[in-house]
Structure 1
Amino acid sequence: MAQQKSILKLKGTIGGITFYKSKDGYLAREKGGVDASRIANDPGFARTRENGAEFSNAASAGKLLRDAVRVLGKDASDGRVTARLTQVMAQIKNMDEANARGERHVGEGMAKDEAKALLNGFNFNENAVLGAVLYTPFSVDAATGEIKIVSLNPQNDISLPSGASHVVLKSGFASINFLTGESEMTVSAPVRIATNAAEQAVSLKPATAPAIEGTHFYLLSIDFVQSVNNADYSLNNNSYNVLAIVGIE
């Protein structure tokens, strides 16, 4: 690459030379790479096409899961969640033993217990991992999606960020069909607890179970807020909020 020295700084492509701005200043480089039509048709790029198709399937599966849980996940995710989830989906795709290379599908791999184990415990916000925030055990009812905490003492059982006045807990019960692209999720009513509240039992039960056939995902959401004059405000752009997969059937 070459650095632009002229007074006039360029951006774009002229005569096969691409001009662009980077952290190192205004640069120029010759346009390279293989023509797209050659990749799409040349037998020598068969492996490239196969890898591309399978990567696309893994990325689409990750997006399907993210979209399905978005009602919970919009306030609890990190900047790398898309890449992290795609990586897991690619491993699950590799478990498909029914299809040839280039046609392997996350939906086929997901039927295996090993695939479900890869996703179970996945944290959508790696800055707030469930195991580092909630210290008390809970149970999950696979039929109803209900999550129960027998005894929760916020001061002892939750890692409370500075400034939080309340913690809000919710559960999600999702059914996702990775073969058809269908998904449905139901969410429990939020349980809002003051951080100085006394020990209590917590039940998070969605009103109904999802109706579509698919892989069942059980999720636990923990949000932290500061209440001022009866209005809740998120802390530090939701960076403390938790969303984790706590069960898969």
Structure 2
Amino acid sequence: MATYESLIKITGTVGDLVFYSLNGKNVVRKKSGFNKKAFKKSPSYEKVRQNSSEFGHCSKAGKLIRSCIDGYIKEAGDPLLYQSFAKLMTDIKDLDMVSERGKRSVEKGLMTEKGIELLKAFKFGNKEIISTETRISTELQHTILYTPKNDDIHEIAFITIKPDFEKYTVEYIEESRVYTKEGKINFKNHFPDEGLLLYFLIIKNKDGDISRMGFV
């Protein structure tokens, strides 16, 4: 960008130069090299289009999942958590070895063992992650949660999430139980045979404070 002096005030485009007024000064700059039509169709922009498409998908997928646990995320003590969660979605999407580049999805990434491992290992702010000894078993009528015996656990909230990463819609059910030292808790299976389901667990101590939370 440069300024110029002239008896004639020019506004508009001349060749590859653009003339306009900025803060009372006459300014001239070269046209941007970006071409919207070329971006959509030119082979030279193919990789950029692919990256842009996948980035948008990961952003929407992350927002979709976060919407189901937003109330708990606010207690995680990390105002920028959405950024690290978006990065998690990208890492999981990269595990999709089935789809062509530009169409890789979070859903297919979550269908891999590594994808679920990444989801379970994600730390929500200052809250501890769920113990690796915690696991679930699904049956036709019930989802059974197995947790290690811990005197510090008083209440458990359990969220079942059924995301649709194509339509970007989601259903979820939250249930709470007072913890028993049996280490085995039954929850109703609200989405039997419904494809990909995600399970989010919140553990509270006797004071009602969240000590741990994360995916299981």
Q: Same fold (TM over 0.5)?
A: yes
- Whether 1:187 and 2:186 are equivalent positions in the alignment is no
What is the CA–CA distance in structure 2 between the aligned matches of 1:216 and 1:83, rounded to whole Å?
23
**SS of the residue 2:111 aligns to:** coil
Q: Which gives a bigger RCO, structure 1 or 2 (Cα 8 Å, sep 6+)?
A: 1
Q: Which residue of 2 aligns with 1:237?
A: none
In structure 1, C-alpha distance between the alignment counterparts of 2:21 and 2:113, rounded to whole Å: 51
Instruction: Say what the alpha-carbon RMSD is for the aligned residues.
Output: 3.8
| 1:35-93 Cα deviation digits (max 9, x unpaired) | 47266346233322221111111111111211233465454462232222221221222
The aligned counterpart of 2:64 is 64
Q: Are the counterparts in 2 of residues 174 and 210 from structure 1 also a CA contact under 8 Å?
A: no
Partner of 2:90: 90
Q: Percent identity?
A: 19
What CA deviation, in whole Å up to 9, does each residue of 1:114-146 have, x standing for no partner?
2222212323x2211225xx7x95442333333
In the alignment, structure 1 residue 141 sits paired with structure 2 residue 137? yes
With over 3 angstroms needed to count, the CA separation of the structure-2 counterparts of 1:17 and 1:113, relative to structure 1, is farther
Structure 1 unmatched runs, 5+: 1-14, 19-29, 159-166, 193-198, 227-231, 235-239
Counterpart AA for 2:161 = A
What is the CA–CA distance in structure 1 between the aligned matches of 2:85 and 2:170, rounded to whole Å?
17
Q: How does 1:163-178 map to 2 (within 5 A)?
A: 168-178=155-165
Could you tell me which runs of 5 or more consecutive residues in structure 2 were left unpaired when the two chains were aligned. 1-19, 24-28
Distance across 2 between alignment mates of 1:72 and 1:211: 26
C-alpha distance in 2, partners of 1:150/1:45? 52
Aligned CA distance change for structure 1 residues 202 and 112 (closer, same or farther; 3 Å):
closer
Taking structure 2 as the reference length, the TM-score comes to 0.66
Q: Rg: which structure is higher?
A: 2
Cα distance in 1 for partners of 2:71, 2:111 equals: 25
Aligned length: 190
